[in-house]
Amino acid sequence: MQDNSCGREPFALRVIGDEMSPEFNDGCIIIIDPEGVISDGSYVMARHDEGFVFRQLVFGEGVYYLKTLQAGHAVIELPDLGAIEGVVTQQATRRRADRKHYV
């Protein structure tokens, strides 16, 4: 992750598409922490091709992969973790009791 001395605050995004279902359905809200701990299997937001993607991070041998939960979508290979902008820490819902935490 980038070193940002002023710190960055968590923020919310709406998931668009079904690439990350069934865990994250189209339209759900996720909370992303730019200062979150990156680990194998984390759900992350990363820079890719002039934009951003929401994927699951998988550690390989000297390389990292960004994968969807739905089969049939391209796997993105990363040489390092520099493209990772934040880690998903929560899936927000209307009811507090139904919220899912990922860290």
pLDDT 10s digits, 27-57: 999 999 999 999 999 999 999 999 999 999 9
Q: Is residue 15 part of a domain?
A: yes
Q: Is residue 5 part of a domain?
A: no
Q: Is residue 76 part of a domain?
A: yes
pLDDT at res. 24:
95
Q: Is residue 3 part of a domain?
A: no
Q: Is residue 62 part of a domain?
A: yes
Structural domains in the chain (count):
1
Q: For 75-97, what is the mean pLDDT? A: 89
Distance CA 63, CA 98 (A): 35
Decide if 94 contacts 88 (C-beta within 8 A): no
Confidence label for 74 from pLDDT (cuts 50, 70 and 90): very high
pTM of the model: 0.84
Averaged confidence pLDDT in the chain: 89
DSSP codes, 1-59:
----TT----EEEE--SSTTTTTS-TT-EEEEETTPPP-TT-EEEEEETTEEEEEEEEE
Confidence label for 97 from pLDDT (cuts 50, 70 and 90): low
Q: Is residue 41 part of a domain?
A: yes
pLDDT at res. 60:
94
CB within 8 Å of 21: residues ≥ 6 apart:
69, 70
Structural domain that includes position 56: 11-101
Q: Is residue 2 part of a domain?
A: no
Q: Is residue 6 part of a domain?
A: no
| CATH number assigned to the domain comprising residue 96 | 2.10.109.10
